[in-house]
Amino acid sequence: MDTSNPVLVEVTRGAAVESRHRGALAVVRVDGTIVAQWGDIEAPVYPRSAIKPIQALALVESGAADRFSLSAEELALACASHSGEPCHAEAVGGWLERVGLGPEALQCATQIPRDEASANAMVLAGARPTALHHTCSGKHAGMLTTALHMNEPIAGYLEPGHPVQRRVGRILAEMGGRDLTDAPLGVDGCGIPTIAMPLAAVALALARLASPEGLVPKRAATARRLFAAMTDHPYLVAGRGRFDTIAMQAGGGAFAVKTGAEGVHVAAVPSLGLGIAIKIDDGARRAAEVAMAALLQHLGVLDDGARAALSPYLDAPVLNNAGLRVGTIRAAAGWPA
């Protein structure tokens, strides 16, 4: 019996399918009911940056966000994998300055902006990137702010045993409804611990973010606040030409989406009370974005404007070196159904 995950996305060239992307996908209600699944949704995966909105719950719940008067824009950055554009780096820098810290406090390392235009502008100006340009600098600023508020050490905030990371791990377990005590532990690209979770648990955590009525009042209010920050300020969550920004701008608050490395993508859909989690086996971001667009359309949460905005992902072109369309990246035949 074939136990491999199904093909979710295929890439054509001319009349033939040239490549196929297998993966798993879970659609879960807030009560834990599995609405739909493709592939093995109990296999543990590292959700990577896709769960930043869940990690950011600690920033608000702890009281740190209110003590330091964080804006909705700064909360969006705490949930972000931003592109290092000037608006992103300057906002994180201003946030750190206000809490009495500088870029050197960030332990996410220095990274050239992932936005090509911003990176080229820095090179032409002879400027050097800093940790503020790192795609995860907002998340790290949030963790530092929480440590300051809780009178916890700033040094070593990335270590698994640090109170900041223990707090985040506890929240992940609670939102995902699983005991993660013995879950595999890795190190994310930005240096923080990343905990492996079943894909179904990741989807449940997003469902609870989308429809937090069953959570304790403080967490429910926090979830609503973070969802609103992301959907009100989608450019800060990603950036120029990025799927998450395009989708949330077009969605107008109907859903929040968040990418993670290695083919992970999640969504929270309040109107349906659903959480979605995708993991592409080979880690391809192109496949995760196409799968997410196809599923959002399948669930009926895209209006005409949103479908138009996401058309480059619903029918993604494959271009040759001359810029001519020679194929398509699309949901696999018969999926989703």
Task: Indicate if the pLDDT at residue 329 is higher than 70.
Answer: yes
As a whole number of angstroms, the distance between CA 272 and CA 111 comes to 38
Residues 6 or more apart from 47 whose CB is under 8 A from it? 194, 197, 202, 260, 264, 266, 277
Say what the alpha-carbon torsion angle 304, 208, 178, 203 is, to the nearest 10 degrees.
Answer: 0
| pLDDT interval class at 337 (50, 70, 90) | confident
Confidence (pLDDT) at 110: 95
**Helix, strand, coil share of the chain (percent; to 5):** 45, 20, 35
Average pLDDT of 104-133? 96
DSSP class of residue 215?
Answer: S
Q: Half-sphere exposure of 224 toward its Cβ, with a 13 Å CA cutoff?
A: 10
Q: Report all structural domains of the chain as residue ranges with CATH numbers, in order of start.
A: 7-331 (3.40.710)
Longest dimension (CA), the chain: 62
Rounded Cα–Cα distance for residues 50 and 64 (Å): 22
Query: What's the rounded mean pLDDT across residues 275-282?
Result: 98
Radius of gyration (C-alpha) of the chain in whole angstroms: 19
83-98 pLDDT per residue, tens: 999 999 999 999 999 9
Model pLDDT, residue 330: 96
pLDDT of amino acid 2? 57
Integer Cα distance of 296 and 242 in angstroms? 17
Q: Is the pLDDT of residue 1 over 50?
A: no
Q: Which residue has the tokens 């909360």?
A: 75
Q: Looking at residues 301-327, what average pLDDT do you find?
A: 96
Beta carbons within 8 Å of 36's beta carbon, 6+ residues apart: 25, 26, 27, 336
Average pLDDT of the chain is 97
Which residues sit opposite 319 in a β-bridge?
325
- Fill in the amino acid letter for 116: E
- CB proximity list for 25: less than 8 A, separation 6 or greater: 8, 36, 37, 38, 39, 41, 199, 276, 277, 278, 279, 291, 295
pLDDT in tens, 184-234: 999 999 999 999 999 999 999 999 999 999 999 999 999 999 999 999 999
Contact 87, 115 (CB under 8 A): no
Average pLDDT over residues 20-45: 97
**Alpha-carbon torsion 163, 167, 168, 172, what sign?**
positive
Quick one: what percent of the chain has pLDDT higher than 70?
99
Report the candidate in 37, 39, 41 with the shortest Cα–Cα distance to residue 22: 39
68 CB-near residues (< 8 Å, 6+ apart)? 98, 99, 145, 148, 149
DSSP H or E stretch at residue 266? strand 264-269
If DSSP codes are grouped into helix, strand and coil, which group holds residue 155? coil
Instruction: Quote the CA–CA distance of 264 and 49 in Å, as a whole number.
Output: 8
Measured CA to CA, the distance from residue 251 to residue 235 in angstroms comes to 13
